[in-house]
Structure 1
Amino acid sequence: MSDELSPEATSFEQGYEGALRPATLAEFVGQAKVRSQLSLLLNAATMQQRTPDHILLAGPPGLGKTTLSMIVATELDKPLHQTSGPAIQHAGDLAAVLSALTPGEVLFIDEIHRMARSAEEMLYLAMEDFKVDIMVGKGAGATSVPLELSPFTLVGATTRSGLLPNPLRDRFGFTAHLEFYGTDELVSVVRRAAGLLGFGLSEQGIEEIAGRSRGTPRIANRLLRRVRDFSLVHDTPGDTATVQAALALYDVDEHGLDRLDREVLRAVVERFGGGPVGLSTLAVSVGEEAETIEAVVEPFLVRTGLLTRTPRGRVATRLGWEHVGAVPPPAPGAPPALM
């Protein structure tokens, strides 16, 4: 039997992430309340033959903000223009994007909170009145030239909604707050993705991956592909044993913690007696940037009850001590443990 993939399979593998994205709200798994709200907003705009209100999607990474922006364009049957906040560092960058939009087009700006301040101020007028003022010339001879824009729908995505200035946040007609997924929802995500990949994964294997995905579909899909690769290379069935062996190889434990998560938790417990320990000290002790610890590692450890943040620093909880195989200290006022 030839090991070469068919042209269709090769094309799917090359566009793996895109191929797993749902195309419509009906196909989108999870976020039921947001889906209902978006469906009402888009249907009302279509019935009134107008451009929908601007939409802000807020939430942690990997929950489907980019996918929802694509779905908005699909449901409206309009083209989608994608860019990101870091790519818009000058008002002229934004003016070039806005002036190229066609009537009704959906503009998606990822990480919108990272736009330059001058571009944000230009966006205020564009969102409200569909026009921008462009400065022509320099110094005393500079003049402001108004530029009319085609009506468009802005979909902004942010992982740090608190960093958005109030004037910009207030100009969005609808703000959706995406929540972490439950295990049942992730089971549906993994089952759908496995079917699209043509990977025969057992129900127990699906549940095993879902339980280690940290409430995030992007992580679930990534772990699924690693398990599929392991099964292919080692010629093993897609059962629980294969899932456990594959994820053990990639240092993902039964709770979804990876190597860095465990290093941070172990450092708090073993090097600093359970805390409190400051962020910068903790980062140095594990050889990582403080921003990485704060933005990538801490949220999951806090959400799972393994770590807490206090004014004095990070403190390991009783669950955190037990997770690294250490005996937690007795609670204040508790009698000493008997030997």
Structure 2
Amino acid sequence: MSGELSPQVAANELGFEGALRPATLDEFVGQSKVRRQLRLLLDAATIQQRTPDHILLAGPPGLGKTTLSMIVAAELDKPLHQTSGPAIQHAGDLAAVLSALTPGEVLFIDEIHRMARSAEEMLYLAMEDFKIDIMVGKGAGATSIPLELAPFTLVGATTRAGLLPNPLRDRFGFTAHLEFYDEDELSHVVQRAAGLLGFDVAAAGVSEIAGRSRGTPRIANRLLRRVRDYSLVHGTPGDVEAVHAALTLYDVDAHGLDRLDREVLRAVVERFGGGPVGLSTLAVSVGEEAETIEAVVEPFLVRAGLLSRTPRGRVATRRGWEHTGIPIPDAL
């Protein structure tokens, strides 16, 4: 049997993904302050019949930066062109994208901090004056030809705002800092997604999913789909027992920790006596790359109060010890 999805099934899956994304600011759950700020920015631009200022969306993955860029284009009733920083490795790549924009179009660059430096420098002039300089020829005979661009709105998204050079950051008229969601907001996200997926989940099940979603809507939607799959395969209703069974199967505990999170925390507690332990040593002990531990695992463990970072290394907190179920030594 072929492992490829039929066109109908593939279309249904894409439809589900698209349906889970809110289409307007009013439908977007959470980030109330950012939504009000964006509403004012877009309404003012519409009244003045101009392109809105460039927008920078900063925050951890999964909080809705891509969705907000789509909403900006939808609210302006303008087309959206999407690309990413890693895809723009030369100034010519950016020039091709900018020259193809139509008047008022919204350009979304995800992970904008990962653009090539030459492209960043070209973007400075494009954002301020809507023009770029194209170099023609090589060596002493090279000449610069100015190219006028259609007015556009740049929406940049970054998970590492500190890596953006100051000249680029200063050219954004508005910077939004997205925050993690609380459990009530995530419950609304889960309820909305369940309704769009046609999946009936009990209120207790919704709360359970929200509590294990690490403050992130993307994770909430992903866990909901795994619970839906479990209920579909086993023929069970979407009650709290099905939620427990599905999330236990996928190694997501009551606090939202997955297998790797627990391995890291247990390594600090069991193998290194609660720390301090260096990042590279910790990574070797669990068989993962140091970058994975630092970028994927640590932020949540620190935010949850289970781990702390000190100048000497990573240290398990009292709450971290309690989570592993290992008694804290008297010496600590």
Pairwise TM-score range, normalised by the shorter structure: over 0.9
- What are the residue-to-residue correspondences of 1:142-153 with 2, within 5 Å? 142-153=142-153
Partner of residue 125, structure 1: 125
Deviation string for 1:189-222 (max 9, x for gaps)?
0000000010010000000000000000000000
Between the aligned partners of 2:91 and 2:285, the Cα distance in structure 1 is: 41
Q: CA offset at residue 263 of structure 1?
A: 0.2
What is the root-mean-square deviation of aligned Cα atoms in Å?
1.2
- What are the residue-to-residue correspondences of 1:283-322 with 2, within 5 Å? 283-322=283-322
Between the aligned partners of 1:178 and 1:202, the Cα distance in structure 2 is: 29
Between the aligned partners of 1:136 and 1:319, the Cα distance in structure 2 is: 62
Q: Does the CA-based 8 Å contact 1:306-1:319 persist in structure 2?
A: yes
Deviation string for 1:55-91 (max 9, x for gaps)?
0000000000000000000000000000000000000
Between the aligned partners of 1:85 and 1:148, the Cα distance in structure 2 is: 23
Between the aligned partners of 2:17 and 2:194, the Cα distance in structure 1 is: 13
Between the aligned partners of 1:12 and 1:190, the Cα distance in structure 2 is: 19
Q: CA offset at residue 12 of structure 1?
A: 3.4
Q: Which amino acid aligns with 1:13?
A: E
Q: Which amino acid aligns with 1:163?
A: L
Partner of residue 111, structure 2: 111
Partner of residue 13, structure 1: 13
- What are the residue-to-residue correspondences of 1:74-85 with 2, within 5 Å? 74-85=74-85
Q: Which amino acid aligns with 1:191?
A: Q
Partner of residue 203, structure 1: 203
Partner of residue 218, structure 1: 218
Q: CA offset at residue 265 of structure 1?
A: 0.2
Q: CA offset at residue 15 of structure 1?
A: 3.1
Q: CA offset at residue 331 of structure 1?
A: 6.6
Q: CA offset at residue 164 of structure 1?
A: 0.1
Partner of residue 35, structure 2: 35
3-state secondary structure, aligned to 2:150 = coil
Distance 1:10 1:291, change over 3 A: closer
Partner of residue 264, structure 2: 264
Q: Does the CA-based 8 Å contact 1:12-1:19 persist in structure 2?
A: no
Q: Which amino acid aligns with 1:137?
A: G
Q: CA offset at residue 11 of structure 1?
A: 3.4
3-state secondary structure, aligned to 2:263 = helix
Q: Does the CA-based 8 Å contact 1:24-1:71 persist in structure 2?
A: yes
Q: CA offset at residue 317 of structure 1?
A: 0.4
Instruction: List runs of 5+ in structure 2 lacking aligned partners.
Output: 1-6
| 1:279 matches 2:279 | yes
Task: Report the TM-score, using the length of structure 2 for normalisation.
Answer: 0.97
- What are the residue-to-residue correspondences of 1:53-202 with 2, within 5 Å? 53-202=53-202
Q: Which amino acid aligns with 2:17?
A: E
Give the paired residue count: 326
Between the aligned partners of 2:199 and 2:72, the Cα distance in structure 1 is: 30
Instruction: List runs of 5+ in structure 1 lacking aligned partners.
Output: 1-6, 333-339
Between the aligned partners of 1:21 and 1:214, the Cα distance in structure 2 is: 19
3-state secondary structure, aligned to 1:15 = helix
Partner of residue 4, structure 2: none
Between the aligned partners of 2:69 and 2:17, the Cα distance in structure 1 is: 15
Q: CA offset at residue 19 of structure 1?
A: 1.6
Q: Does the CA-based 8 Å contact 1:231-1:237 persist in structure 2?
A: yes
Between the aligned partners of 2:15 and 2:287, the Cα distance in structure 1 is: 34
Task: Report the TM-score, using the length of structure 1 for normalisation.
Answer: 0.95
Q: Which amino acid aligns with 1:175?
A: T
